């Protein structure tokens, strides 16, 4: 029989650049391949497995699945209500709409913003977002993703979208007008290379939103649910967004997304304005309740800050020794970008030979997104291996 990789190539559209491993199982911060090798996982499924590869998720799934896996959104469902309640009670939001993915959360938000704008003026439909942002790959989310490389083959895109330069106040001012209905923002651009928003910029967004009456939509699909050491990354900036979009880690590995809306937006969507067959799947929501309760009823957020600081310290000392390879280290909590220019592929390759799995983004950035439950000795293990990798590279 053909290998799994050969069959994967034969039967599945070629849209992902798969690695060469075949993973058999995962536990905690580690992945195990079919040959029995153990790898330290610094991807966490690209910020999905925030609680690590947690066996408790399987129990929660089974418990809910034995009751029912799906009913349709014509029925109320306890895990769905419980998850919404937890999200509302622990954020700015007053209500929630559930989706299945990040891009769907942003699609729902786009529709809501446009309907909000139309209440005031038929021309108040413009959506603004940053260059270098990433908001998803369906048409609305793709249009607000400010990266031509994802868009060019698929034009014409959704119209009424403008982009500004991230963290550039002048560029923002030039883009907004009375026709702006919403500004979409990542607090830390993830796909764009782990670049954090500045206080000055967010202040300007808030001030302009009052002047021009537009909504502030924070895309926390990658940064949300504890990744940065706060439940939501926006909390650091001490303001209240109008909308927050979520997905990725919310379901502990199961597909789910959410749109959190403020009080003033509660009634923008009327009956049948939006919907989704699977949105708010009860099994995913039951896992979401477990994820949120695990974070809220523990010291995990504080630990994320401490572990992030430890990682930063270790990386900075490697940078000091190898300034020609490591150009910059940035990020917050356990979302850290290491700028390594064109060394990226070699670093990933070498790391894998030493049982360390690294994710990269924006062509030149190692993006560290370990499980939030990573242990202190696993961080030391990472730092040691990473140093060996950079040392070997420096001798190449």
Site of interaction with ligand PLP (CB under 6 A) = 101-103, 134-136, 186, 190-191, 219, 221-222, 247
Give me the least distance between CB of 336 and ligand PLP, in Å please. 15
The answer to whether 88 and 258 have CB atoms below 8 angstroms apart is no
**Considering beta carbons, is residue 44 or 389 the nearer one to ligand PLP?**
44
Q: What 3-state class would DSSP assign to 370?
A: coil
The answer to whether 93 and 87 have CB atoms below 8 angstroms apart is yes
Query: Who's near 309: CB < 8 A, 6+ residues apart?
Result: none
Beta sheet of 365-368, edge-to-edge order: 328-332, 335-339, 365-368, 359-361
Give me the least distance between CB of 184 and ligand PLP, in Å please. 9
- The 3 state secondary structure assigned to 193-226 is CCEECCHHHHHHHHHHHHHHCCEEEEECCCCCCC
**Considering beta carbons, is residue 114 or 367 the nearer one to ligand PLP?**
367
Residue 346, burial from CB neighbour count under 10 angstroms (0-12, 13-18, 19+) = middle
**Considering beta carbons, is residue 28 or 102 the nearer one to ligand PLP?**
102
The answer to whether 17 and 8 have CB atoms below 8 angstroms apart is no
| Gap between the Cα atoms of 283 and 287, Å rounded | 6
Return the residue nearest ligand PLP (CB atom): 102
| Gap between the Cα atoms of 92 and 122, Å rounded | 28
Q: What 3-state class would DSSP assign to 167?
A: coil
| Gap between the Cα atoms of 278 and 73, Å rounded | 8
**Considering beta carbons, is residue 102 or 314 the nearer one to ligand PLP?**
102
Q: What 3-state class would DSSP assign to 250?
A: helix
**Considering beta carbons, is residue 217 or 300 the nearer one to ligand PLP?**
217
**Considering beta carbons, is residue 28 or 167 the nearer one to ligand PLP?**
167
- Measured between its terminal Cα atoms, the distance across the chain in Å is 39
Give me the least distance between CB of 217 and ligand PLP, in Å please. 11
DSSP structure class, residue 342: G
Give me the least distance between CB of 198 and ligand PLP, in Å please. 18
| Gap between the Cα atoms of 41 and 38, Å rounded | 9
**Considering beta carbons, is residue 145 or 209 the nearer one to ligand PLP?**
145
**Considering beta carbons, is residue 220 or 303 the nearer one to ligand PLP?**
220
**Considering beta carbons, is residue 192 or 282 the nearer one to ligand PLP?**
192
| Gap between the Cα atoms of 140 and 217, Å rounded | 14
Give me the least distance between CB of 252 and ligand PLP, in Å please. 14
Give me the least distance between CB of 72 and ligand PLP, in Å please. 22
Residue 209 has which token pair? Answer: 């939103």
Residue 224 has which token pair? Answer: 């949300």
**Considering beta carbons, is residue 96 or 318 the nearer one to ligand PLP?**
96
**Considering beta carbons, is residue 278 or 322 the nearer one to ligand PLP?**
278
∠ CA 94-96-101, nearest 5°, is 150
Please report the DSSP string for 118-137 in residue order. HTT-TT--EEEEEBT----S
Give me the least distance between CB of 250 and ligand PLP, in Å please. 10
Give me the least distance between CB of 134 and ligand PLP, in Å please. 5
DSSP structure class, residue 156: S
């Amino acid at each position: 029989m053909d290998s799994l990789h050969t069959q994967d190539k034969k039967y599945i559209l070629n849209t992902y650049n798969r690695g060469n491993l075949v993973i058999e199982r995962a536990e905690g911060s580690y992945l195990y391949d079919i040959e029995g090798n153990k790898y330290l996982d610094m991807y966490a499924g690209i910020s999905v497995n925030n609680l690590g590869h947690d066996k408790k998720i399987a129990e929660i799934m089974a418990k809910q699945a034995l009751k029912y896996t799906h009913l349709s959104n014509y029925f109320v469902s306890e895990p769905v209500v419980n998850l919404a309640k937890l999200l509302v009670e622990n954020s700015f939001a007053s209500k929630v709409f559930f989706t299945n993915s990040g891009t769907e959360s942003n699609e729902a938000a786009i529709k809501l913003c446009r309907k909000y704008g139309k209440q005031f003026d038929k021309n108040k439909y413009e959506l603004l977002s940053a260059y270098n942002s990433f908001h998803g790959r369906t048409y609305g989310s793709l249009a607000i993703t400010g990266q031509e490389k994802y868009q060019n083959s698929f034009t014409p895109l959704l119209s009424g979208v403008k982009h500004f330069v991230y963290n550039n106040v002048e560029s923002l001012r030039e883009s907004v007008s009375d026709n702006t209905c919403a500004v979409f923002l990542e607090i830390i651009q993830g796909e764009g290379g782990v670049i954090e928003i500045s206080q000055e910029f967010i202040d300007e967004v808030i001030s302009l939103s009052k002047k021009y009456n537009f909504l502030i939509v924070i895309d926390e699909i990658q940064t949300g649910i504890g990744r940065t050491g706060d439940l939501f990354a926006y909390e650091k900036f001490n303001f209240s967004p109008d909308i927050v979009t979520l997905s990725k880690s919310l379901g502990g590995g199961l597909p789910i997304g959410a749109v959190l809306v403020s009080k003033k937006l509660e009634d923008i969507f009327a009956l049948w304005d939006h919907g989704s067959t699977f949105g708010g799947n009860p099994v995913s929501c039951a896992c979401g309740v477990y994820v949120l309760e695990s974070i809220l009823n523990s010291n995990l957020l504080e630990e994320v800050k401490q572990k992030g600081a430890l990682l930063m310290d270790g990386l900075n000392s490697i940078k000091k020794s190898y300034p020609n390879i490591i150009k910059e280290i940035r990020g917050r909590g356990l979302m850290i970008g290491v700028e390594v220019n064109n060394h990226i592929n070699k670093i990933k390759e070498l790391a894998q030979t030493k049982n360390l799995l690294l994710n990269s983004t924006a062509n030149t950035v190692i993006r560290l997104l370990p499980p939030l439950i990573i242990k202190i000795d696993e961080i030391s293990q990472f730092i040691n291996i990473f140093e060996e990798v950079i040392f070997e590279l420096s001798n190449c």
